[in-house]
Structure 1
């Protein structure tokens, strides 16, 4: 067999019509998702999960609870992708039908490009601070490298699982030791208004990967390896990185991107952060690759490499002008869209007999499943309207007015993620039963 044939049988297929090789074991999937969870965006976002004036243990508990909930959802979707051996957006054909699945595909394309842009920005910001250099060369370098990695995704996954995870672990452990050597006074500032609003931010991170999970776990050797590797790997990393950010806030009193400056101030902190900056490339690569694979749900014959180059170019251009500190509303909106959809998908999938999940090009439309998804989204917004400053304030004001109409206390303190998920799940069960009877 030639070298090109070897690559073809061990790499991700170029088009949707090619079968994905099942080459990833538990170690590979765990290593991939643990690396994806080790992200500098999480310590930066830690200020949004801090409960001001409350004991540090309460904030840390919210982190653990949010990570467990989000990671269980992630693991279940990852296992479904491994069983069906299709990308994430194609998996939704079994729920909504081929053409109706284009709606969540459109949302996913927007979020993937957004996350790729955010990752490039955080890489460039951190690298410029470590090396005391202008930001723009690092934006360009990160965009180019992430795009190049997206061309050989399974090769990158194996490198991450076998080598990068150990470098990331060493850097994180070192930073923990240094931060814990400092006094940890009570946290007076923070962005969370209740325990569950803090947990919602944490839930949003693994949930943001739900539409992408099957893009990688379709290559897993078993559903168990996919579910355990994704859920446990990403969950542990999420707890570690959010906790590191919260402890840095307590130790140094810094928020947002200043957390990076605080970590740089510890002995050899620059080296540790530089390792994490390098590891951060996997998040950017994963979003570029998944944008390309998601687009194939609509244009299945188009080469994913062409799509990846186009996506990488767009994300790099956007990264030159993006304000990274304004992305909290983006996290909440992701949760509002994809948490209810995850509930609908998981209930419908695991209640459907094995072999009956139709992801073909002829999968019939099932618009009835839009009802629990949309209702879950509405329930999420009525619980906690997504806050947008400036031009987007009208969105927040409209939902706040609907809260007033229904007598819902804006300071209810509920988990919007769990409310939206519960509503979507409750409405999906009768839809599944009605669909079975009609079938």
Structure 2
């Protein structure tokens, strides 16, 4: 019985991914990185940029910073696609088998914390929706339910993540379009483009560029883990670059827009 259950789990491990298990095409890779970076924290990062910077300057910094910052991530992803190994296994080449255990442990703890932060944010949203509809509120329960769903998807391995991420990317694009549409009906985008600079978060162009670069660098420990499932080097490089840059522009642009309109309306 146990074997029948576990056979549906993913076969992802530390061994190189077999060539016949590399299922990510260009569309799947783009959707994977798009869905991975259109998250609340990236939106909140975009909110720091405006009104400290003019909106168009902020978006230019996001475009250039993400376009350049993603290059080391793309290169690590190419190493993963070529070797079929995860990032932490690749680190053994620099630190040795035992030496690589420390960055692996740090990466594990970081991802555990990050996963629960995302689950908390999702639980807050779900709790708000349920409370507004039924009057019932239980934030710990909804946070645990969201994290449980993530674990179940992860147990399916990269095949489960690929399937879910494609629909998640489509859903997030539709939701972002709906938010922009709603703001367009209630506010004037021309006012956003011409609004005066107001120093609120002590963000300069240099600091903004560093933030965008750091956001891209934070994904490097997962680059090979995702892209070792890509069908080719070209798919890994183009899909990662396009998906990540588009996601960063969308998420930070949404955050900057919300922040700008919030300031304009007092």
Residues 347-366 of structure 1 deviation map (CA, whole Å, 9 limit, x = unaligned): xxxxxxxxxxxxxxxxxxxx
In structure 2, do the counterparts of structure 1 residues 109 and 145 end up closer, same or farther at CA, with 3 Å as the change threshold?
Answer: same
**CA distance in structure 2 between the aligned counterparts of 1:111 and 1:204, rounded to whole angstroms:** 15
Q: How many equivalent residue pairs?
A: 247
In structure 2, do the counterparts of structure 1 residues 224 and 31 end up closer, same or farther at CA, with 3 Å as the change threshold?
Answer: same
CA RMSD of aligned residues (A): 2.5
Q: Is the 8 A contact 2:50 2:259 kept in 1?
A: no
Deviation at 1:140, TM superposition (A): 1.1
Gaps of at least 5 residues in structure 2 are 132-136
**CA distance in structure 1 between the aligned counterparts of 2:55 and 2:97, rounded to whole angstroms:** 47
Partner of 2:34: 34
**CA distance in structure 1 between the aligned counterparts of 2:109 and 2:126, rounded to whole angstroms:** 26
**CA distance in structure 2 between the aligned counterparts of 1:63 and 1:163, rounded to whole angstroms:** 25
Deviation at 1:137, TM superposition (A): 2.2
Partner of 1:84: 83
Please tell me whether residue 144 in structure 1 is matched to residue 148 in structure 2. yes
**CA distance in structure 2 between the aligned counterparts of 1:14 and 1:29, rounded to whole angstroms:** 17
**CA distance in structure 1 between the aligned counterparts of 2:101 and 2:51, rounded to whole angstroms:** 39
Deviation at 1:96, TM superposition (A): 2.6
In structure 2, do the counterparts of structure 1 residues 136 and 161 end up closer, same or farther at CA, with 3 Å as the change threshold?
Answer: closer
More helix by share: 2
Residues 283-336 of structure 1 deviation map (CA, whole Å, 9 limit, x = unaligned): xxxxxxxxxxxxxxxxxxxxxxxxxxxxxxxxxxxxxxxxxxxxxxxxxxxxxx
Please tell me whether residue 188 in structure 1 is matched to residue 186 in structure 2. no
Partner of 2:120: 121
Partner of 1:156: 160
Q: Is the 8 A contact 2:16 2:85 kept in 1?
A: no
1:215-364 equivalences in 2 (<5 Å): 215-253=225-263
SS in 2 for 1:221: coil
Partner of 2:220: 210
Partner of 1:174: 178
In structure 2, do the counterparts of structure 1 residues 186 and 177 end up closer, same or farther at CA, with 3 Å as the change threshold?
Answer: farther
Partner of 2:14: 16
Q: Is the 8 A contact 1:86 1:215 kept in 2?
A: yes
Deviation at 1:192, TM superposition (A): 4.2
1:366-385 equivalences in 2 (<5 Å): none
Deviation at 1:25, TM superposition (A): 1.5
Residues 222-267 of structure 1 deviation map (CA, whole Å, 9 limit, x = unaligned): 122112212210111111100101100111239xxxxxxxxxxxxx
Q: TM-score, normalised by structure 1?
A: 0.52
In structure 2, do the counterparts of structure 1 residues 173 and 232 end up closer, same or farther at CA, with 3 Å as the change threshold?
Answer: same
Gaps of at least 5 residues in structure 1 are 255-439
Deviation at 1:88, TM superposition (A): 0.9
In structure 2, do the counterparts of structure 1 residues 67 and 39 end up closer, same or farther at CA, with 3 Å as the change threshold?
Answer: same
Partner of 2:105: 106
Q: TM-score, normalised by structure 2?
A: 0.82
Deviation at 1:94, TM superposition (A): 2.0
Q: Which has the higher contact order (CA 8 A, sep 6+)?
A: 2
In structure 2, do the counterparts of structure 1 residues 144 and 39 end up closer, same or farther at CA, with 3 Å as the change threshold?
Answer: same
**CA distance in structure 2 between the aligned counterparts of 1:42 and 1:18, rounded to whole angstroms:** 32
Deviation at 1:110, TM superposition (A): 2.5
Q: Is the 8 A contact 1:30 1:161 kept in 2?
A: no
Q: Is the 8 A contact 2:15 2:85 kept in 1?
A: no
**CA distance in structure 1 between the aligned counterparts of 2:41 and 2:69, rounded to whole angstroms:** 17
**CA distance in structure 2 between the aligned counterparts of 1:77 and 1:109, rounded to whole angstroms:** 18
**CA distance in structure 2 between the aligned counterparts of 1:131 and 1:46, rounded to whole angstroms:** 28
Q: Which runs of 4+ in 1 moved over 3 A?
A: 17-20, 129-134
Larger Rg: 1
Q: Is the 8 A contact 1:33 1:234 kept in 2?
A: yes
Q: Is the 8 A contact 2:87 2:221 kept in 1?
A: yes
SS in 2 for 1:50: coil
